A and B are shown apart, each in its own frame.
Chain A
Amino acid sequence: MRPLTDEETKTMFEKLSKYIGENIRLLIDRPDGTYCFRLHNDRVYYMSERILKLATNISRDKLVSVGTCFGKFTKTQKFRLHITALDFLAPYAKFKVWVKPGSEQSFLYGNHIMKSGLGRITENTAQYQGVVVYSMADVPLGFGVAAKTTQECRMVDPMSIVVFHQADIGEYIRSEDTLT
Chain B
Amino acid sequence: MKRLYIGGLGHTVSEKDLKDRFGKFGDVSDVEIVTRKDENGAPLKRFGYININITDAEYKRCVGILNKSTWKGGTLLIQLAKESFLHRLAEERQQLVEKAKAPKIIPQEKLVDSFKAAGVENFHMKAAVPGTEIPGHANWVVSKFGRVLPVVNLKGKGKNKVFKYDPSKHCHNIKRLETADDVTSVSKLTWEIKGGDDEISKKRRGEFPKQKPCPKRSKIDLSLFLSNLAQRNAMNAAATGNKNKVAIQQNGLSAVKTGKQKSVCVFDNDSDSEDEIRMLVAQEHLRNPKQTSTEDDDDNLEVVGDDFVVKSNAFWGGVEQDDVKTSLLTSTKDDEEYDSADTDEILTRRKTQTQAESAPVTQDSPTESSKNKSSSESDEGSDEADDEDDVSVDSDYEAMMGNCYRLDLSLADLEQLAKKAEVISDDESVEEPKEEAKTPSAPPKKTGNNPEDILASLLVDDTPEKESKKKKYQVNTVSLPAFIGTKDLFGGPEPSLKRLAPNIDGESSKRLKQDLKLKEQSISEDTQSSNRLSQQKLSTLNIQRGAKKLESKASTSEDDSSSEESESSGDEDVFTSKTSSASQSVVPETELKTVSSNNSKTPIKPNQTKTSRSSSSGSSSEESESSEDEDSAGVLTSKTPSVAQSVKTISKTQMKSVSSNNSKTPVKPNQTKTSRSSSSGSSSEESESSEEEDNAKVLTSKTSLATPLARTIPETELKTVSTNNSIKPKQTKTSRSSSSDSSSEESETSDDENSRTQTKDSKSADSKSVQENVVSHQTVPHSTVIDAKKQQQDNQKRLAALEQRQKETEQQKKLIQGALSNVDAAKVNKSKHIVFDSDEDDEEEDETTSRPEQPPTNLKKSLFEDDSGSDEDQQTSMLEEKKNNKPGGSKLFDSEDEDDGAEDEQFQIKPQFEGKAGQKLMELQASFGTDSRFQVDSRFLESDAEPEDQDEAAPEEDADKQLLEEKKKSLDILQSILNTNIQPQNTRKGKMFKYDDFGCSLSMFCSFRLFLKDYVCFCRDVSSLHYDPTQEEHTAFEAKTEEPKKESKAARRKKRIEAEKLPEVSKDVYFDISVDLKEVFGTSKENQDKKETVSWDKEAEDPEDIMKHMEVSFTSNAEANEDTSGGFKFSFFGEDTAVETTTKTDEYKIETVKGAKFSWQADPRFQDSSSDEEEVDEVEEDQSASNEITEEPTTSKKTFFFFYQNDERLKEGPGMFCRSVKLQDQREAWEEKRTSLREECRKKHRDAKRRQRPSLKT
Chain A interface residues (CB < 8 Å from chain B):
3-4, 6, 9-10, 13-14, 17, 21-22, 24-26, 28-34, 36-37, 48-50, 53, 87-88, 90-92, 94-96, 98, 100, 115, 118-124, 134, 136-139, 150, 153-154
Contacts and interface: CB of A to CB of B under 8 A. Distances in A.
Contact of B982 (A25, A32, A48, A98): A25
A94 to B, nearest CB: 7
Interface pairs A-B: 7 shortest CB-CB: A120-B302, A31-B1160, A138-B310, A91-B316, A91-B319, A123-B303, A138-B311
A124 B320 CA distance: 22
A33 B1025 contact: yes
Given A34-B967, A91-B316, A153 B301 contact: yes
Interface stretch (B18-26, B501-509, B968-976, B1136-1144): B968-976
A10 B977 contact: yes
B1025 A50 contact: yes
Nearest to B1020: A32
B1077 interface: no
A87 B315 CA distance: 10
B410 to A, nearest CB: 20
A91 B982 CA distance: 20
A9 B980 CA distance: 17
A30 B1027 contact: yes
Contacts of A26: 320
Interface string B970-993: 110110111010101110000000
B297 A119 contact: yes
Contacts of A53: 959
Given A32-B1026, A88-B318, A154-B253, A124 B306 contact: yes
B974 A24 contact: yes
A32 B1157 CA distance: 9
B399 to A, nearest CB: 13
A122 B308 contact: yes
B1027 A29 contact: no
Given A118-B301, A121-B301, A32 B306 contact: no
B963 A49 contact: yes
A6 B985 contact: no
B978 A17 contact: yes
A92 B320 CA distance: 8
Interface string B919-962: 00000000000000000000000000000000000000001100
Nearest to A124: B306
B306 A120 contact: no
A137 B1024 CA distance: 29
A36 B971 contact: no
Contacts of A95: 306
B312 interface: yes
Contacts of A94: 306
A17 B253 CA distance: 30
B252 interface: yes
A12 to B, nearest CB: 9
Contact of A36 (B298, B966, B982, B986): B966
A98 B967 contact: no
A113 B971 CA distance: 34
A45 B515 CA distance: 47
Given A21-B978, A123-B306, 16 more contacts: A9-B969, A9-B973, A17-B974, A22-B978, A22-B980, A28-B967, A31-B1020, A33-B1027, A36-B967, A90-B316, A95-B306, A96-B304, A120-B304, A122-B306, A137-B311, A138-B311
Interface in B980-1027: 980, 982, 984-986, 1017, 1020-1021, 1024-1027
A53 B962 CA distance: 13
B304 to A, nearest CB: 6
Contacts of B297: 100, 119-120, 136
B1145 interface: no
B1167 interface: no
B1159 to A, nearest CB: 6
Interface centre among A21, A36, A94 (most CB of B within 10 A): A36
Contacts of A153: 301
B977 A31 contact: no
Given A13-B970, A22-B974, A48-B1025, A98 B1159 contact: no
B301 A31 contact: no
Contacts of A139: 312, 315
B120 to A, nearest CB: 87
Contacts of B967: 28-29, 34, 36
B1050 interface: yes
B305 interface: yes
Contacts of B1020: 31-32
A121 B304 contact: yes
A115 B301 contact: yes
Contacts of A91: 316, 318-320, 323
B304 A123 contact: yes
Contact of B974 (A13, A90, A119, A136): A13
A98 B978 contact: no
Contacts of A96: 304, 308, 310
Contacts of A118: 301
A10 B315 contact: no
B140 interface: no
17 contacts: A10-B977, A13-B973, A17-B974, A17-B978, A22-B982, A29-B1159, A30-B1027, A32-B1024, A49-B963, A94-B306, A121-B302, A123-B303, A137-B312, A139-B315, A154-B253, A154-B301, A154-B303
A138 B977 CA distance: 30
A134 B310 contact: yes
A29 B971 contact: yes
B1021 A32 contact: yes
Contacts of B252: 121, 154
A20 to B, nearest CB: 11
B312 A138 contact: yes
B1057 to A, nearest CB: 10
Contacts of B302: 98, 119-121
B397 interface: no
A49 B297 CA distance: 44
Nearest to B1017: A31
A30 B318 CA distance: 11
Nearest to A132: B310
B1132 interface: no
B974 A32 contact: no
A13 B977 contact: yes
Contacts of A24: 974, 978
Contacts of A154: 252-253, 301, 303
Contacts of B311: 137-138
B59 interface: no
B312 A31 contact: no
Contacts of A4: 970
Contacts of A31: 985, 1017, 1020-1021, 1158-1160
Nearest to A37: B970
B95 to A, nearest CB: 96
B1159 A48 contact: no
A24 B973 CA distance: 11
A26 B982 CA distance: 11
A28 B974 contact: yes
Contact of A6 (B304, B310, B315, B973): B973
A69 B980 CA distance: 27
Contacts of A100: 297-298
Contacts of A123: 303-306
Contacts of B966: 3, 36
A29 B1025 contact: no
A90 B976 CA distance: 24
A144 B1046 CA distance: 39
A90 B977 CA distance: 21
A153 B984 CA distance: 38
Interface in B241-278: 252-253
A29 B312 contact: no
A124 B1017 CA distance: 35
B141 to A, nearest CB: 84
A17 B316 contact: no
